[in-house]
Amino acid sequence: MTALRHESIKEKIGSRVLNSKAELLAGDLGPAIRDLIEQRGVLVFPQVSFTDEEQIAFTKTLGKFAPERAGGDETISKITLDPNEAGESAEYLKGSLYWHIDGTRNDVPILASLLSCKQPSPKGTGNTGFANCYAAWDDLPEDAKADLDGLKVLHAPWATVFYHEPEPSLAKLKGYQAIGENELPLVWKHQSGRKSLVLGNTAHSVIGKSAAESARILVGLRDWATSETYTYSHEWSVGDCVMWDNTGTLHRAEWYDPTTGRMMHRTKLEGEEPWQ
């Protein structure tokens, strides 16, 4: 059996996987990679240069491939803010510039995402940031944990609009509200026994708290979870593939000019446990 070779990027988040492309595609490393991603939040496969077909095949070694849409084909998805490439989704993807977890309106969110860099933006822009919400929870004081455990939060995609467009039209707001919303635990008790914070730009309000107190809770926890200790910002090179645990890691694209041609190819793993 091939051994998984890796090194830590930071103490609380991120590991760099050093195995060759052939070793990754062989499939033997799937279980070890699954264990490592839960512990580290983010895995970087530097300049592994997967083709689209190889990225799909590698994704399948880790779990069940998740099509972009229910019943869709097993293909990669192009991720870019360039409206010439992304079409109508470019507007929706503006929310990706702020900390979030994917799938908060679904009963079972995706397990993980994999991004491969085909074209980076100029150096100093377009990094992807990650924040380890397992580690952020673990390090909270015990009295804070006692206050937070059991709270519920309304998550709504329409709440993300106000991050990039403070005065949207009523038509746009109604369009986003039609996507749906969900009440989720602030603290996710995973089947593994571990816990993580459920935060991000879809988090609108804490159920049963005043607007002011709700904002203090959500903003305070976001500040804590996205502080230097728990975050990693990946500067892309062509051929890099980065995988993150969507069930316990916030992520965001850092600002870049949409006209620079930045292009990522994404695949995803089906979720395996509901919010609880």
Q: Average pLDDT in the 124-138 region?
A: 97
Q: Give the angle 184-189-194 at the CA atoms, nearest 5°.
A: 145
**What mean pLDDT comes out for the span 192-207?**
97
Looking at the structure of the chain, the number of domains it has is 1
Buried-exposed string 62-98: b where 16+ CB fall within 10 A, e elsewhere = bbeebeeeeeeeeebbebbbbeeebeeeebebbbbbb
Q: For residue range 230-259, what is the model confidence (pLDDT) as tens digits? A: 999 999 999 999 999 999 999 999 999 988
Q: Do 234 and 44 meet the contact criterion of CB atoms below 8 Å apart?
A: yes
% the chain with pLDDT above 70? 99
pLDDT at 134 over 90: yes
Binned at pLDDT 50, 70 and 90, residue 73 comes out as confident
Give pLDDT, residue 125: 94
Q: How confident is the model at residue 162, as a pLDDT?
A: 94
Query: Is the predicted pLDDT of residue 268 greater than 90, yes or no?
Result: yes
For residue 193, the Cα-to-chain-centroid distance in whole angstroms is: 21
* Tens-place pLDDT, residues 180-195: 999 999 999 999 999 9
Per the domain annotation, does 30 fall within a domain? yes
Stated as kind and residue range, the H or E segment containing 265 is: strand 263-269
Q: What is the mean pLDDT of residues 155-170?
A: 94
Q: Is residue 110 part of a domain?
A: yes
Domain of 184 in residue numbering reads as 6-269
Residues in the chain: 276
Dist. CA 42–CA 201, nearest whole Å = 20
Q: What is the pLDDT of residue 85?
A: 77
28 in any annotated domain: yes
Reported as a single tens digit per residue, the pLDDT across 81-108 is: 887 776 667 777 788 999 999 999 999 9
Residue 3 has which token pair?
Answer: 């051994």
* pLDDT confidence of residue 86: 66
Q: Is residue 1 part of a domain?
A: no
Q: What is the pLDDT of residue 227?
A: 98
Classify the phi-psi angles of 94: left when phi > 0, otherwise alpha if psi is within -120 to 50, otherwise beta: alpha
User: How many angstroms separate the CA atoms of 186 and 137, rounded?
Assistant: 11
Q: What share of the chain is helix, strand, coil (3-state, %, to 5)?
A: 30, 25, 45
Domain assignment present for residue 274? The answer is no
pLDDT of 91 reads 76
Asked whether residue 276 is domain-assigned, the answer is no
Q: What was the pLDDT predicted at 68?
A: 84
Has residue 135 been placed in a domain? Answer: yes
Q: Does residue 275 fall inside a structural domain?
A: no
Question: Tens of pLDDT along 138-147?
Answer: 999 999 999 9
CA-to-CA dists, residue 14 to 37, 48, 197, angstroms: 8, 17, 18
CATH number of the domain encompassing residue 191? 3.60.130.10
